[in-house]
Amino acid sequence: MKQPKNILLVDDEEDFLETTSRRLQRRGFEVKTATRCRDAMPEVSDGWPDVVVLDVMLSDADGMECLSRIKRQAPRLPVLMLTGHASLQASIMGLEHGASDYCLKPIELDELVEKIIIACKEADGPL
């Protein structure tokens, strides 16, 4: 896979969305944002994102529920889970439900970009 270009950020923290979106755009990525799972799903259905960065806690759905919806719609789409609360159980559950990786907020932008690239390369592997 070529370097991912389209990133969908799904988080109910507006400040995080605005700051991270702007910083990723400066690095040449196309970024769309959603504050709710139901707002993210049309983008997933349209096949727009190369990767989804998904917060574990959303206002309209549990992050695991949203992850399941995304994976039903687009099984090979890489999804990085983000959380502000360290939980080994939640990270294991996310990985078991198809998340590519699980990251703690705040996350350095370089680390996030690296994880996005790795997740997309891994998703491009054999079925």
Q: Assess whether pLDDT exceeds 80 at residue 91.
A: no
Nearest to 12 by CA among 26, 30, 33, 28: 33
φ, ψ for residue 107 (rounded to 5)?
Answer: -120, 135
How far apart are the C-alpha atoms of 56 and 65, rounded to whole Å? 9
pLDDT in tens, 11-54: 999 999 999 999 999 999 999 999 999 999 999 999 999 999 99
Q: Assess whether pLDDT exceeds 70 at residue 101.
A: yes
pLDDT confidence of 2, banded at 50, 70, 90?
A: low
pLDDT value, residue 96: 84
Average pLDDT, the chain: 90
The tokens 């799903």 sit on which residue? Answer: 41
pLDDT value, residue 105: 86
Query: What's the mean pLDDT in 97-112?
Result: 92
pLDDT value, residue 99: 93
pLDDT value, residue 75: 95
How far apart are the C-alpha atoms of 54 and 49, rounded to whole Å? 12
What fold is seen in the domain 6-123? Answer: Rossmann fold (3.40.50)
pLDDT confidence of 3, banded at 50, 70, 90?
A: confident
Q: Which residues contact 10 (CB under 8 A, 6 or more apart)?
A: 33, 34, 35, 36, 37, 39, 40, 52, 53, 54, 55, 58, 66
At position 106, the amino acid (one-letter code) is P
Nearest to 70 by CA among 39, 104, 116: 39
Domain residues of the chain, as ranges?
6-123
